[in-house]
Structure formats: structure tokens, C-alpha cells
Amino acid sequence: MKKGDIVELEIVKYAFEGRGIAKVSAENIRSDIPKDETPISNYIVFVDGTYPGDIVKAELKKIKKSYAEANSVEIISPSEFRTKARCKYFGECGGCKQQDLNYSSQVEFKQQQVEEIFKKMGGFDDFSIEEIIPSDKIFFYRNKMEFSFSDKRWLTQEELKSTKIVEKDFALGLHVPQVYDKVLDIEECFLQSELSNKILNITRDFFRGKNILPYSTKTQSGFLRNLVIKSAHHTDDLMVNIVTFSEDEKLINSFKEILIQQVPQITTIVNNINRKRSSVATGDYENIILGSGFIFDLIGNYKFRISANSFFQTNTLQAEKLYQTALEFAELQGDEIVYDLYSGAGTISIFVSERAKEVYAFESVESAVIDAEENKEINNTLNVHFFTADLYKSFLPLVEEKNLHLPDVVILDPPRSGMHTNTINDIIKLSPKKVVYVSCNPTTQVRDIKLFTNSGYKLIKIKPVDMFPHTYHIENVALMIRE
């Protein structure tokens, strides 16, 4: 068989990042591979869009020495784990990858995937794996949705077959996977709220009705870039952030009037102006059109201010469970010095502050540190101290300059790319008794933990937390103790 061939496969396992695995005879895929080089039992095919128990027809896309990649083109016999996707855009939209997989199976597979990453990739065996924390809400759980405007609308299979005329040069919705310049125009999404869907459709109708053009990165012309909606779960606050290429005060004020007339629940409206060519939903500056420009929400007993461009955990209800897990792993007694690295707007620092003597928080992004200082003042957490630090070079000079107490516990929550080796080496030099590592990417987490365990630390336990139902993303908390 060769690239482009259609083959029948039985899916026997689920791989990280949402692909089914089929095992096949190596000689059936590549006749030029000697059997002694590629054992039959080891040759696998990764098949997008499939689950264990599926029998499918799949098109081979890539053939390598020890594996192949394929796309499912027909489900001959569906897996018992499958369910009907709720969203009509599922399969074409880039938001959800597993909405056709029942939720109990989603969390079970995520647990297995994290365990496999730590055991096979990391080589760890002498550690405890605690049961995953599922999400109580599997729809309408997000507090933020970022929609994109585009002058290139992605046409669905249904639209391509239809004889109706479809407007192709205006879309407001979500990006299609692996297609950076086209946007799927959507009318509803089940990730945030019914109210956000209403705002989405009002926004589309308003600007399309006035023939206002989306911004084009190719021609560097047009006005509309993004619609970002942020909602609070524990308060009634609701923010609309319209991101544009330039200012138009009259137009934006007209938009505001329509919005608040039809959605009076909106508490603040912000207009971010982004003149950069890159497609990012943050502006060079912002104009506050209505309200304070902020919303407020709670995690545990603490209140946090959220600006248009500040980071806040996207699933508020699960964030509390994530932070509580980190706090339980740290086992703080009240007399410890805690370092919080990649502290963002200070959510973890403040959340653990009641159980620590002092918390020193380090963050590379200066605007996040400003947000953190505001949150410290709101919560009156006087034992938390925030610092802007370069977490790619070394933060030890800052520790020495400020004459900070050395840490008993270090809590880490880096981006998906993980930690820089310089930062890992800094922590090892500081020699804390415990390191609690919160990660949104178990693969890079394992890579980093191996460096710690090669330098005197032992992995004690891990616990996954499902923050994003219907996606393959998974958060994981790990505890290491200095031997």
C-alpha cells in the first residue's frame, strides 16, 4: 500500500492529541521494509477522527518506517464510545475535537494518556497516579470566547452542495483547523453561553448591514479583526471587546447602542486597536466604550479583576479544583516561603497565600504583574509580593538583589512550551523541599520533570484535571520532593 490508498482499519487504542491507533502488518504497508527491522506488532497507523472500537476506511497520508498517518473517510462500524455531536459545525470547526465521544470515555482516555506519557516517555514507574477530576459542566463552561472576522469565509460541505448564493467575503466565527486565513461563519457555539451567541449574531448583523469590511493581513486593509466575549461565573459581569484595525468613534458608539439595547446584561465594552499585521486579538491600545473596562470573578474566596487583555483560566469552575489540587500537593502548614513562577495575574499566588508565610511571585509579562498588584490590593493579601522577572535567562539575580528568603516550596505553571532549562537550573540551585508543577501540556511537563529528577528530586504523584471537555487538552498537577 502507498500514500493515497484507502485501507480498512480497526482502531484498537487512543493516542494523545485525539487520534485513534490501528495495528497492521508492516509488509502490507511497505514491501521495502525488512521484517527484522520493523516487527509486525510494532507497526501502527494513526487515524484522525477515530476512537477505539471503530472499524473505518482511511486514506493513507504519510508512510514512515515504523508508523503511518491517515484520515478517516468512512466509518464502517462505529465504536460503542461514540455519541451524536451536539454542534452542527462539529468536524469543520476548530473548537471541539471530541464532541462525538461520550464524556465518560473522554476523561478515561485522558487519564490513560497522561499515565502513558509519564511511564513510556518519561520512564517513570515509582509514583502515584491519582484519578482525574472531570468537569461538572461539559457545555457552556468557558468564560472567554475569541471569534475572528475574515474576508475569506470557509464554505461547509452543505454550502458547497447548495445552490443558494453564499457571501464569501465576510465571516465571523472560528478558524478551521490548519487553515490560518479562513474562518467558519457560525451562529452558535456551545462552549460559552447562549448570551454570547446572541452577542455574536448581533455583531455580525450590525457590521455586515453597514458593509464594514474585515481586516485582511494580505492587503492590510479593512476594519474588523476580532470579537472577544468575557463572562464571569460568580458575578453578573459581562465584557464585549471589539478588536479593530483603526478607530471609528461614531461607528463603535452606534454598535454600543445596539448592543446594550438588545443585551442589557453587558457591563463593559472595550475597543482594542490592533495595528499590527499579525492576527492577535490584543491591541496596541484600548478605548473603553462602556463601564470600567474590567469584569470581576471569584476563584475560591478570592476576587480577581479581569481586563480585556489579561490572562485568566478559561474554565473558572475547574480552575478552583486545579488550584485546590496544587494547594493539597504543596501541603502548606502556614510557615513556608513559597515561590510562584509564571504567576500571571496572581491567581495561584493569592489562592495559596492564606496557607503560606510569604509568597514571592515571578512573571515575565509586565502587564500581568500590574494586574496581579491590583488583585493583591482587592484581596488584601499583604504576604504576596510580585516581581517582573526574566524566566528565560535567570531570575536568581533578582532573588539576590531583593534579598528574598529562599523557598520551601516552588509552584510552577508555565505555558504549553514548558520551562527554559535556565529556570529549571535556577530552581535546582535554590533547592526547595517541594516543587508543584501545574501544566497544560503533559509532554513538556514530563520533559522538564526528568531534568529535576536527574538533579536530586523524586516524582511523588500526579493528578490530571479536565479543564476543556470535548478537546484533547488536559491539565496535570505533579509533586516532586527533594531527596
As annotated, the active-site residues are: 440
Quickly tell me which residue has 490513560 as its cell: 112
CA atoms of 259 and 202, how far apart (whole Å): 7
Length of the chain in terms of residues written: 483
CA atoms of 143 and 148, how far apart (whole Å): 17
CA atoms of 192 and 169, how far apart (whole Å): 26
CA atoms of 2 and 213, how far apart (whole Å): 45
CA angle at 179 for the pair 175 and 183, rounded to the nearest 5°: 35
Closest to 375 measured CA to CA, from 298, 322, 293: 298
Residue 63: C-alpha distances to residues 2, 10, 25, 56, 160 (Å): 7, 18, 13, 18, 31
Convert the chain into a string of H (helix), E (strand) and C (coil).
CCCCCEEEEECCEEECCCEEEEECCHHHHCCCCCCCCCCHHHCEEEEECCCCCCEEEEEEEEECCCEEEEEEEEEEECCCCECCCCCCCCCCCCCCCCCCECHHHHHHHHHHHHHHHHHHHCCCCCCEECCCECCCCCCCCCCEEEEEEECCEECCHHHHHCCCCCCCCCEEEEEECCEEEEEEECCCCCCCCHHHHHHHHHHHHHHHHCCCCECECCCCECCEEEEEEEECCCCCCEEEEEEECCCCHHHHHHHHHHHHHHCCCCCEEEEEECCCCCCCCCCCEEEEEECCCEEEEEECCEEEEEECCCCCCCCHHHHHHHHHHHHHHHCCCCCCEEEEECCCCCHHHHHHHHHCCEEEEEECCHHHHHHHHHHHHHHCCCCEEEEECCCCCCCHHHHHHCCCCCCCEEEECCCCCCCCHHHHHHHHHHCCCEEEEEECCHHHHHHHHHHHHCCCEEEEEEEEECCCCCCCCCEEEEEEEEC
Residue 141: C-alpha distances to residues 138, 237, 302, 319 (Å): 6, 16, 20, 11
